[in-house]
Amino acid sequence: MKTTPRSPQQVQALQEIRRMILRGEFAVGQRVSELAVVEKLDISRTPVRLALTILEHEGFLRTLPRGGFTVRQFTIQDVHDAIEIRGALEGLAARRVAEKRLSKEELEPLRKVTKTMDEIIRMDDRALLVEEYKEMNGEFHDLLLKLADSAMLNRSLGHVSSLPFSGPNAFAFTGGDSREHIELLRFGQYQHANLLEAIEKGQGQRAEALAREHAQLALKIFSRALSRMDLLERIPGASLLDLEVASREEK
């Protein structure tokens, strides 16, 4: 079966079921049947069936031997692994872009986004800063992947980033508008600027190392969130985390 939504109903089913899982409406270990989802969403069975298959492929669900699915639980190590893999893939994308020695015109969109983020990060209104920076941060990472122009990289990054804790924006905005969190975002923007510079100069190895290091910033923010319940609750899919394992590992 092709695991790509092809109709508006299929896209809707996928988005709705994923949101329900991230909000904890389906608990970890709970059986998720096609019929139950159909009744809950009032959507026909075909798009629901495809959506469940996609979510199993993404890692949100596990297939049960006798039919149906169950919601998967994630360990802290899963989160670390997912972010490390994303960093490796984005590093490869950054190296490819740098080594292509693109023209100024071709790099202008990435340069423009970086300049806009430089302006946003200096804003006095912290709440507005976080909201606007979040949107541009996603655009920066999307442009980097687009410039790499690799269907295989696009598919691989799309797969790992679909997990609730591994995308570029997964943790970067869980800290609200506190001074400490703004400083972390500013450091992230410093990394963006250095990455752009390496790409402009055609420094492939440096660009790859910078992209890998940039992904590690998410782990710092995640570790901070784990120590504060008020921050942890802001993470989409926090209910899927096995925090008991995390507590045992810390002892």
pTM score, two decimals? 0.83
**Contacting residues for 152 by C-beta, under 8 A, at least 6 apart:** none
8-71: CATH class = mainly alpha
Residues 71-98: what's their mean pLDDT? 94
Q: Are 207 and 148 a contacting pair, CB within 8 Å?
A: no
User: Which CATH number fits the domain 76-246, given the four candidates 1.10.600.10, 3.40.50.720, 3.40.1000.10, 1.20.120.530?
Assistant: 1.20.120.530
Domains 8-71 and 76-246 share a fold: no
Distance in angstroms (rounded) separating the CA atoms of residues 209 and 87: 9
pLDDT class for 5, splitting at 50, 70, 90?
low
Instruction: Write down the domain spans for the chain.
Output: 8-71, 76-246
Reported as a single tens digit per residue, the pLDDT across 174-218 is 666 788 888 989 999 999 999 999 999 999 999 999 999 999 988
Distance (Å, rounded) from C-alpha 149 to C-alpha 184? 30
CA distances to 77, 94, 146, 201, 204 from 194, rounded to whole Å, are 29, 12, 19, 11, 12
Averaged pLDDT for residues 171-176: 64
Say what the pLDDT of residue 170 is.
Answer: 72
**Whether the predicted pLDDT of 249 surpasses 70:** no
pLDDT tier at 2, thresholds 50, 70, 90? very low
Residue 25 has pLDDT above 70, yes or no: yes
